[in-house]
Chains A and B, each alone.
Chain A
Amino acid sequence: MSDTTARPDPLSWTCPAPVRDRPRVVMGHGGGGAMSAELIEQVVLPGLGGPVRAALTDSAVVELGGARLAFSTDSFVVRPLFFPGGSIGDLAVNGTVNDLAMSGARAAFLSCGLILEEGVELDTVSRVAEALGAAARAAGVRVVTGDTKVVESGHGDGVYINTSGIGLIPAGVDLRPERVTPGDVVMVSGAIGVHGVAIMSERENLRFETGIESDCAALGGLVDAMLSVTPDLHVLRDPTRGGLAASLNEIAAASGCGVVVRERSVPVPQPVAGACAMLGLDPMYVANEGKLVAFVPREHADAVLAAMRAHPLGREAAVIGEAVTDHPGMVVARTGLGGTRVVDMPMGEQLPRIC
C-alpha cells in the first residue's frame, strides 16, 4: 500500500463520494428526497410504462363523470406505532386526508389496508383500529373498504397500513405548483419540525425527553377556511418526509420560480430547535404531519393569513418568504445574520451528525 511509504501530501486530499449506484434498496430511498425521486423516475416509472406524471405527486386530480376528484394513496410504516401525540392509526387517516386537502379536496372516502405481523398483540391492533376510527370521525371521512393480510414473524414491523382516499375538488380551485408566480407569498400554518422530533425522541438509541407531541392532524378544515377567502390559492403542500425544505424545493422545481425564505420568520419551537442543535439537524428538513405550506397571490395574502390564524390548526401561521424570479428552481434562505444559503433538496435519510 503506497500510503505507508509516501510522504503525506495534503494537496492530494481527496474526499469520499457517496455511493450512487446501489444494487439494493436502502433506507434513503424512502426519505422523500432526491433518492426517492430517482427510485421512482429510474426504476418504477419505466416499469409502469408511459408517462405517469402523477406517480411523482402525493395526489392526482382526475376527472370522472364531469366531477373533478382528487385521488391519493399513502403507506405508513412508522416506528414506534404509538408516539407522543398520536399513533400509526392517526397518521394513516390524516396523511391521506391531507394529501387530498393539498389538492383542495375534502376527503370523502378512504380505503384501509392492514398488513399485520404474525405475533403482534391483538390489543395493539385494536388500539390502532380505534385510533383510525377516531381520526376518521374527526376528519369527517368514511372508511368504506379495506383489506387485511398477515405476514410471517420477522417480515413486518408489527403493523403497516395503507390508505387511499378520494374527494371532490370544488369548482374554481386549481392548486398546482405550475401556478406559482413571482411575488406569491409563502406561508406556513404553524411551527415546523414537531412531528419529526416527537418521533425521534422515542427512537431506540436516540431517546430523549421533550414535552412536545406530534402535530399530527387533519388539515381539511384549515384548507376549507383558506379557500373560503379565495379559491385562487396557487399551491398547498403538507411538508411531511423531507420537511419544509423538500416541499419548497418541489414547488420551486415545478414552478420554475425561485423561493426566498426568511429564516427568522420560520416558526421553530424551542424543543425542536434544541433537539436539532443536539443532533445536528436542520429544522427545515424535519417531518411535519399537521402543517401546510401555501403559496398565495400577494393580494390575498393578508386575508388568507388572517383566516389561517382564526382556525385552531393555524393559530401560529406565519409568512416566511416569497416566490421570486431569481435563481429559478432553487430555494434560498436569508439567514438571521443577513447572509444567504441554499436550502437544497434533501438527499436521503436525515442522520444525526457529529461534526
Chain B
Amino acid sequence: MCLAVPGRVLSVEDRDGTRMATVDFGGVVKEVCLEYLPDLRVGEYAIVHVGFALQRLDEESARRTLELFENLGMLQEEFGDPWEQAVQAGDSDGLGREVQR
C-alpha cells in the first residue's frame, strides 16, 4: 500500500487535459500525474506513489520533526516534553501538524 517516495517538481505541464509534472528522485527523473495536487509548484516536494503525487511534502514540518528528534532527551530533562510543549504552543487538533516552537 505504501511505497511512496518524496520527489522534487522540476516542471509542470498540461497534457491531453491532464496535469503532469517531471519529478526528480535523487537524480532519477520520472513523469508524475499532478491531478490530485494541481497547485503544486516547481521546486516543491511531493509524496509520489505509482506515478501520482498524493500529498505535498511539508518541508517546514520535516525540519521541525528533525529538530525535535535532535532535542529529545535534553529538552525533556530540562524543560519537559517537547511535543507537549508544542501542543500547548498551538497544535490545537493535537495531531502535530500545526506544531510551533
Contact = CB atoms under 8 A, between A and B. Distances in A.
A211 B30 contact: no
A208 B28 CA distance: 7
Contact of A355 (B3, B5, B26): B3
B27 A355 contact: no
- Classify chain B's interface size: 10 to 19
A210 B28 contact: yes
Nearest to A352: B3
A280 interface: yes
Contacts of B48: 278
A293 to B, nearest CB: 24
Contacts of A2: none
A208 B22 CA distance: 10
Nearest to B6: A277
Given A355-B1, A355-B3, A278 B30 contact: yes
A273 B26 contact: yes
B1 A354 contact: yes
Interface residues of A, number: 18
Contact of B29 (A208, A273, A277, A355): A208
A270 B25 CA distance: 9
A274 interface: yes
Contacts of A354: 1-3, 49-50
Contacts of B30: 208-209, 278
A278 B27 contact: no
A170 interface: no
Interface string A204-217: 00001111100000
A211 B26 CA distance: 11
Interface of B: 1-3, 5, 7, 25-30, 48-50
Given A274-B28, A278-B5, A278-B48, 11 more contacts: A208-B30, A209-B29, A209-B30, A212-B27, A274-B25, A277-B5, A277-B26, A278-B7, A278-B25, A353-B3, A354-B2
7 tightest A-B CB contacts, nearest first: A274-B26, A271-B27, A274-B28, A209-B29, A274-B25, A208-B30, A270-B27
